[in-house]
Amino acid sequence: MFIIKLMEPLINHIHSRLIKKAITIAVAESCTGGMLSKTLTDISGSSAYFILGIVAYSNCAKKSILKIPAKIISLKGAVSQEVACRMARGIRKIARTDIGIGVTGIAGPSGGTAAKPAGTVFIAIASQDKTVSKKFRFRGRRTYVRQKAANKALELLKRFI
């Protein structure tokens, strides 16, 4: 977990800012499999801001829990900007938090296509007023892709708050 270790100053900063600003968050993860939620809750006192984290790995979970329309998943794909944004907004609504984070991607090594190769990840962060999203392409083994996605989500969260 070398990459996560390097992120300690970042998560400590986020922890302090979320508590100071009394901001609550919820996370909907797919390819990171709970890694982002784990990192956000590693520090004592995180219950002040971390309300809910779910791993909506299957399309069925994305549709039934996060209420993402099947048509969006069919047209855009489960790994898309649209789905990441809907994951972020959906989890925020379910948990009634200030911020929602959505992460969806292809960790690999299988599952990629020419249009969306393994390592493609979309991350979205939503508040009541705005939603921002970003596409990433990470190269490396499955664990590395998942760690990088969780770390990039933290970096985006830092900028967002």
**Type and span of the H or E element at 101:** strand 99-105
pLDDT, tens digit, 9 for 90 and up, residues 100-158: 999 999 998 888 888 899 999 999 999 999 999 999 999 999 999 999 999 999 999 99
User: Which whole number is the average pLDDT over 9-15?
Assistant: 93
Both structure tokens of 93: 């609504």
Give the pLDDT of residue 106.
95
Strands 25-29 and 131-137, sheet pairing: unpaired
Bridge partners, 137 (sequence order): 120
Give the pLDDT of residue 36.
97
Give the pLDDT of residue 61.
96
Domains and CATH numbers, the chain: 2-160 (3.90.950.20)
Which pLDDT band holds residue 6 (cuts at 50, 70, 90)? low
- Tell whether the model's pLDDT for residue 69 goes beyond 70: yes
- Tell whether the model's pLDDT for residue 25 goes beyond 60: yes
pTM recorded for the entire structure: 0.93
